[in-house]
Structure 1
Amino acid sequence: MARLYGFRRKAFMAAAAVLFLSIGASLGAPVTKYDPLVIDTFRSPATNDLGIWHGVDEGMPAEYGEGSLRLSPTNADMNFYTQLSGGCTDMTVYKDAYLHVVIKGTDKFTISFTQHNAQCNQNVAPFPETWDSVEASRYANGGDIYVPLSHFNIDLARANSIGFHGFYTKEEVTLFKVEVVSSPPNTLGTPSKLPTGTLALKCKRPNSFAFGIDDGQPQYAQEVMNMLAEEDILVTFFTVGNGLLDETANFTNVMEGLPTTEDIDQEFTKNMQVFKDKLGIESRYFRPPFGNVGARTRQRFAALVPDPYIINWSVDIEDWLWAGSPTPEKQFEAFKRDFEKGGDIAVMHYLNPTTISYFRDVFQLVKKSGKRIMRVDQCMEDPSAPPLK
């Protein structure tokens, strides 16, 4: 299972500003009741109520009104983010609070809470470092959504933004308010937190680097394997079923955009069965198509595989953009840029000979840095991974 060819980089275009919160108490002090922390009421296309960046990306049609934002998604890869700050915001004082979102229209989407990197620096990769997600419809009551902040498994001391994405319908949704409140109305119950696995864009093991090689063309496979043997390095291949290699397919909707959770389960189980039948292995590592992973996909994977990892990346060779172009050398430049920013999990493909021609260059770049190249499970310090040699 893999992130598929054609991914377009998502970018947070945020101003470098830090928000210090002091609503009802100083940070770190216990708080049970306080005035709502209003994050966004959509009165400006440029900034939210905190004076920090918010906006859509990936071409999502959006229309601001007087105190509203109407989103008209056409696929699950589109998203909207509203930031708490350009750096880290310590939200631990609100660990027992609730995220309240007021909407009109569909609730068939994902709400995510992002965690900044340890440097709290958006110029360091990865940015954001990780995030956790919930399915909005599980928490919705009419036009109100109340999610306990404790249902987002992130470090609240490094909170960065709230995201809306993973739309699995083309119905519109209008957002009116995003805020943090001490509690929902007494008449509302709260659903249980469903497991969502661990989303990783960064290695845990110090001084490590992992190459994640996704789908490719069969005629190039032996060339890549010979190169890996000559370089004497280990990489991780994220494989896909034959049907996913059809470039005419709408890969964006392969997972999160599927209409039902049963469809998602079928995609997982069929691929896992192929793994077992053909390779004799069972894996708890998954790389989603396009890197697009919403709450439903994460929940279903966690229901089918104990303690799973969803592996995205912090180094992109950008073969989806430059392979076969008049400037293929920009693939190496893109890899080097992300690597020098601190990225240590790569995404690459062997779909085009111009990409393969830069494999040795990027292998040597990482080797010369002193970082140790290893499998993804080894860089994640997985106890079940083979020991390092």
Structure 2
Amino acid sequence: MHATFWVIGSNVIDFPDILSSTYQSGHQLGCHTWSHPDLLTLTDDQVIAELVYGVKAIQEVTGIVPKYFRPPYGSVDARVQTLAASMGLTSVTWTVDTLDWSDVGFGNITLVPQAFQGWLDQNITLPISLEHDLFPDTVSVVKQSMDLLIKAGRVIKPVAECIGDADPYGNTILKDFFASGLFESK
């Protein structure tokens, strides 16, 4: 199975091999900004910089230019969506949240698979779920969580596949911008 990984650009600089391996394994990559700020608190120029630098980091390692981004904290409004769209980016948020980040380090990470079981019990269909792979605690319960879904007959897919987008890296606006050399200009 494959999933979508939302990537923070500054982390790509520190862990390029992990990003390359994730992409080569067939997972979808999307931008999660450069440094994970609340985009609603930024100026237009800062929002643009967060998205462009985040995508550029992904492109430097993998050669691909994503069309999708996940706004940190789910903070997105019409202004941010319009700015992103001008760069060929579409925001994606989640419909269900495991709250894994709040369980890390407290010994109650089993709440993550319990969240999945709860969604199954409620017959929530077609969810986009949110988990964070930067926490070893969360990673430790991924298999258990995914097994619950598979046993219930659910299919785990990357976001682009869910919406029928055969080319999640067809962002010609940023691809052309990077190819123009203007990004590197001083």
Task: Normalising by structure 2, report the TM-score.
Answer: 0.70
CA-CA distance at 1:379 after TM superposition: 0.9
Evaluate the alpha carbon distance shift between residue 336 and residue 358 of structure 1 in structure 2; reply closer, same or farther with a 3 A threshold: same
The correspondence for 2:101, drawn from 309, 315, 320, is 320
2:35 pairs with 230, 241, 244, which one? 244
Q: Check the 8 A contact 2:31/2:70 in 1, yes or no.
A: no
Aligned residues: 158
Once residues 324 and 214 of structure 1 are traced to their aligned partners in structure 2, the CA distance between those partners, rounded to angstroms, is 22
Match of 1:256 among 18, 40, 48: 40
* TM-aligned CA deviation for residue 210 of structure 1: 7.5
Task: Quote the Cα distance in structure 2 between the aligned partners of 1:325 and 1:215.
Answer: 25
Change (3 A) 1:244 1:266: closer
1:369 deviates by 2.0
The yes-or-no answer on 1:329 pairing with 2:110 is yes
Q: Residues 338 and 214 (structure 1 numbering): CA distance in 2 closer, same or farther, change over 3 Å?
A: farther
| Equivalent position amino acid for 1:364 in 2 | D
Q: CA deviation at 1:309?
A: 2.8
User: Which residue number in structure 2 is paired with residue 296 of structure 1?
Assistant: 79
Asked whether 1:272 is paired with 2:55, we answer yes
Instruction: Return the alpha-carbon distance in structure 1 between the equivalents of residues 167 and 29 of structure 2.
Output: 17
1:287 aligns with 2:70: yes
Is 1:341 aligned with 2:124? yes
Of 163, 166, 184, 1:380 maps to: 163
Gaps spanning 5+ residues in structure 2: where? 170-186
Name stretches of at least 5 consecutive residues in structure 1 with no aligned partner: 1-208, 246-250
Tell whether the 8 Å contact from 2:98 to 2:131 is kept in structure 1 after alignment: yes
Spell out, residue by residue over 1:56-95, the C-alpha distance to the aligned partner (whole angstroms, 9 max, x if none). xxxxxxxxxxxxxxxxxxxxxxxxxxxxxxxxxxxxxxxx
Q: Are the counterparts in 2 of residues 214 and 349 from structure 1 also a CA contact under 8 Å?
A: no
Q: 1:235 to 1:333 in 2, by over 3 A?
A: farther
Q: Determine which of 138, 145, 148 is the counterpart of 1:362.
A: 145
Q: Secondary structure at the match of 1:361?
A: helix
Q: 1:343 to 1:372 in 2, by over 3 A?
A: closer
Relative to its length, the structure with more helix (as a share) is 2
The TM-score with structure 1 as length reference comes to: 0.36
Separation in structure 2 between the aligned mates of residue 276 and residue 325 of structure 1, nearest angstrom: 36
Shift of 1:385: 5.5
Q: Highest Rg: 1 or 2?
A: 1
Q: CA shift at 1:326, angstroms?
A: 3.1
- CA positional deviation for 1:235: 4.3
Structure 2 matches for 1:143-182, cutoff 5 A?
none
Given residue 41 of structure 2, which amino acid in structure 1 is its aligned partner? G
CA change 1:263–1:284 in 2 (3 A) is same
* Percentage identity across paired residues of the two chains: 23
Take 1:337 and 1:310, find their aligned partners in 2: how far apart are those partners?
27
* CA drift at 1:343: 4.6
The answer for the alignment partner of 1:309 in structure 2 is: 90
Cα separation, partners in 2 of 1:277 and 1:214, compared to 1, 3 Å? closer
1:352, CA displacement in angstroms?
2.1
Instruction: Report the 3-state secondary structure (helix = DSSP H, G, I; strand = E; otherwise coil) of the residue aligned with 2:156.
Output: strand
